Amino acid sequence: MKTPLKVLLVLCSAAGLMGLFFYLFSLSAPKTIRINPPSDCNLHKEECRVQLPGQSFLTLSLTPRPIPFSDPFLIAVRLENIEVDSVEVDFFGKSGDTGFKRPVLREENPGLYQTTTDLTHCQEPEMEWQVTVLLTQGKDTLAIPFQVVTLREYGDVANIPLKLSDRPRGGDFVLKTSTQSFDSKSMRGKFYFLYFGYTFCPDICPTALANLGAMFRELSSDELALVEAIFVSVDPVRDGAERLRKYTAYFHQNIRGISGRDEDLRRVTKQYGGSYKIHPPEPGKDYYVVDHSADTYLIDPNGTLVETIPHGTLGNEIGQILRKRIAIYKGEKK
């Protein structure tokens, strides 16, 4: 009887050790935690915000809206009260093939991760697809799957960036309001970026100005002295001089905000190939949106339009464009 008992004890001990091994392994093994975002959030219409474990938050934005299926679009992830090792976004076609897409986002500002991508393999505009944000923390991953509705479901969407009205030709202009005045000739001797938008813009303008701000922060002091950015509000009724000053200062001190009379703004935006449309407010509401083209223009120290930069171009890429143009300009002066 003793021998079988010893064998049983040995077997039990071995099983216990094996169980302990698997338990410890499970503690150290990589884990994927799934967090479900709000089911009513529509990425074709708005950015989506979701609470993560603790008091941390994630906001996902895809622009322009509605999300194009063949042209490049910008992915922006903002994180609050959480630090991660990497941010990726996975695109999955639920009723068709989007092609394999899992771009890695770059941290442009503290907590702001961005990149551009496209869904060139997506040939069916009414297909259902899903975008999942993957946050890596050490060995663990937080997965937040966002449902993207079909084109047929979202219908008409306001605040879509308008396309260019004509080929940009650039040139000098003057804009005036009762409290401020701007003459583009005052920028002679400097490079400057020109962008048309408005301060109540929920996503397109903040993204563009954040990219310009990231670019400015990468420049040396000598380079900063050579360049500014002019933010032209196409919403002069709401965007007064003080509001524009505070709004642009948030992104960088080298960005200046101006506006003008509606007839002058329409002439200047058309001069640069842009356009805008002010939507009437909904019944009983004061708030309204403005559709506008979203390119950024680079003007050289001679006042010549030298670059039209698409919406979603990241700060480091804008910096490369600027440095190339500075080198060309200095070469021409010799």
Same domain, 83 and 221: no
Tally the domains of the chain: 2
- Considering the domain boundaries, does residue 78 fall inside one? yes
Same domain? 135 vs 260? no
Residue 136 inside a domain? The answer is yes
Residue 7 within any structural domain of the chain: no
Supply the pTM of this predicted model.
0.56
Instruction: Write down the pLDDT at residue 89.
Output: 87
188 and 327 fall within a common domain: yes
Same domain, 250 and 135: no
Residues 149 and 262: their CA atoms lie apart, in Å, by 36
- What is the 3-state secondary structure of 38-68? CCCCCCCCCCEEEECCCCCEEEEEEECCCCC
Residue whose token pair is 């500002």? 109
Task: Clarify whether residues 101 and 224 are in a common domain.
Answer: no
pLDDT digits (tens, 9 = 90+) for 129-180: 678 898 998 888 888 888 665 544 333 333 444 444 456 778 999 999 888 8
Mean pLDDT value across residues 285-313: 89
53-91 per-position pLDDT tens digit = 888 999 998 888 777 666 778 889 999 999 999 999 887
Of residues 292, 321, 312, 273, the one with CA closest to residue 72: 312
φ/ψ region of 303 (left if φ > 0, alpha if ψ in -120 to 50, else beta) reads left
**Does residue 165 fall inside a structural domain?**
no
Are 147 and 198 found together in one domain?
Answer: no
We report the CATH number of the domain holding residue 71 as 2.60.40.10
Read off the pLDDT of residues 81-131 as tens digits, 9 standing for 90 and up.
999 999 998 876 654 444 456 788 999 888 999 988 876 555 454 556 678
- Residues 92 and 193 both lie in one domain: no
User: Is residue 270 domain-shared with residue 139, that is, in the same domain?
Assistant: no
Going by their DSSP bridges, the two strands 57-63 and 48-51 should be labelled as antiparallel
Residue finishing a domain among 100, 119, 154: 154
Structure-model confidence comparison of residues 185 and 15, the more confident one: 185
Domain membership of residue 162 (yes or no) is no
Helix, strand, coil percentages, rounded to 5, for the chain? 30, 30, 40
Check whether residue 183 and residue 150 sit in a common domain. Answer: no
Q: What tokens does 119 get?
A: 């869904």
Instruction: Report DSSP state, residue 303.
Output: S
**Domain presence at residue 320:** yes
Is there a domain that residue 149 lies in?
A: yes
pLDDT for position 167: 62
With a CB cutoff of 8 Å and minimum separation 6, the contacts of 209 are 195, 197, 229, 231, 248, 251, 252, 255
pLDDT tens-place string over residues 31-46? 678 887 766 677 877 7
Q: Which structural domain, as residue segments, surrounds residue 43?
A: 32-154
Residue 305: pLDDT over 90: yes
Task: Tell me whether strands 227-233 and 255-258 are parallel, antiparallel or unpaired.
Answer: parallel
Say what the pLDDT of residue 160 is.
Answer: 43
Residue 159 is which amino acid?
N
Q: Do 144 and 181 share a domain, yes or no? A: no
| 312 in the same domain as 199 | yes
Q: Which residues of 82-111 are buried (b: 16+ CB within 10 A; e: fewer)?
A: bebeebbbebbbeeeebeebeeebeebeeb
Choose one of 96, 122, 154: the last residue of a domain: 154
